[in-house]
Amino acid sequence: NFDFFFFLWIALVPLVITVRGKNSRESFYLGLLTVFAYFAGTVYWVYHSMYYYGQVPLVFSILLLIVLSLILSLYIGIFAMLFNFLSRQSAVPALLTAPVLWVTLEYVRTYALTGFPWSLLGYSQYKFLTLIQVSDITGVYGVSFLVAAFNGAIYDIVSLRYGKDEGAPRSARWPKTLGIASFIIIIIASLFYGAGKLKELDKGKKIRVSVIQGNIKQDVKWDARFQREVIETYKRLSIKALSLHPDIIIWPESAVPFVLGYDDILTEEIYAFPKQLNTHLLFGGVVERQKAQDKPGLSNSAVLLSPEGKVLSVYDKIHLVPFGEYVPLKEFFPFVDKLVTAIGDFVQGEEHTVMGTPFAKIGNLICYEIIFPGLVRQFVNEGSDLLVTITNDAWFGRTAAPYQQFSMAVFRAVENRVPVARAANTGISGFIDTKGRVINKSDLFVEAVLTEEITTGGDKSFYTKYGDVFAWLCIAVSVLLIMGRIILEKRK
């Protein structure tokens, strides 16, 4: 939670300068090793979650962190190698090659191997509200582009003044000079666009939402001896919220400490509770579902109840956490299951369920689903004008993960121009408006009841309608630059 966001505007400069003059292999390893420390430092919480709560052996937990950090670093190794390749005796400015390559590899990382778009460059700017408004056109990748381009511009300035371009004829220097001038115009235009968007009034309906943060310890959450205490905690905090007359009360992921339907008495107690509240209740729970071959299974779900206690909608989590909610390729590596004996194995949901209410259409994301721009966009395209993300971040302990995940939710709100209500078991819970402004948020590891009046989403944004057009444009430019360079190399 250091928020040194301004360092990212120069952080890539040492790397891109260092790879200058190196061969492809040297460039790859320089990129890999340079960024390994970055990823190990930003996703270190993986070790904490696996060891302290997943009951994975210490050595294996550390090994998993190292492997994950190396996999993520591979993308930057490829970036360094390709950047070096495109920079050799080329008039193409680095402020173009660096950002298009960077965005291309970020986009690949979002989907490859189930996807893990954590620590994207653009997320570092989540507090720079004027700048990030362009995300409703480009997605988070547009902000990554601007940050990477700024680093590339510094590289170009260094090259023109002190590097291989110093003393070169004007005809050889003008592409980079023109590129720097164009980039300044793009930055100014982006800031003007953002300033205008921040002044716009929201067009949706005003609703009042309460989020409940129960602060239930992970090691007692599923202990049958604490079932009554957990249930009473959420009921007590929900009754406390009634004084502000919310339209809906939201509990976190797996707030209900039993499998719905397994215990009829407890299930009926939860279903009857909205009658006492006289309002809608949305909560996370585990629901029995059918697996393949008609075998029973469990899903990580969100359940919406009416004020009369009727089940209005159920959403089953679509994007499950590898090794947290299922074991990838378990049929080929059955021994892996023994290493993760305390980790659940859930059935994957299939439908982007939009929860209809008289006051809003809710798109519910569970846990880290909020970090996937495409998944969130699909919910909004299905009609959601309020995004709810419920999560149990107790797994992360007092690490950077809850702060990082909250910053990603800011971008989902801006990209789709839809507000976000976040209910987290141990924090951070809060509200984000359509401009990315944090209206209210809780501290970590405290009980909390937050109630805010928020405005639902209005017209669909460009990003919501058309998706990652900007990212695909960067991919196309990257391919053209690489192909062009290969052709030039062959001619020589």
The token pair at 474 is: 């960067």
Q: What is the total residue count of the chain?
A: 492
Helix (H, G, I), strand (E, B) or coil at 48: helix
Spatial CA neighbour of 408 closest among 425, 391, 395, 394 = 391
**Which residues are paired to 73 by β-bridges?**
none
Where in the sequence numbering do the catalytic residues fall?
Answer: 253, 317, 367
Q: In what order do the strands lie in the sheet with 386-391?
A: 354-356, 361-366, 386-391, 420-424, 430-432, 438-441
Q: How far apart are CA 390 and CA 420, in angstroms?
A: 10
Sequence-distant (6+) residues with CB within 8 A of 154 are: 10, 13
Beta carbons within 10 angstroms of residue 259's beta carbon: 15
The token pair at 408 is: 């990603």
DSSP string, 314-351: EEE-SSPPBTTTB-TTTTT-TTHHHHTTTS--PPPP--
332: left (phi over 0), alpha (psi -120 to 50) or beta: alpha
Cis upstream peptide for 78 (omega within 30°)? no
Spatial CA neighbour of 256 closest among 277, 281, 293 = 281
| Contact indicator for 149, 99 with CB cutoff of 8 Å | yes
Sequence-distant (6+) residues with CB within 8 A of 342 are: 53, 54, 55, 56
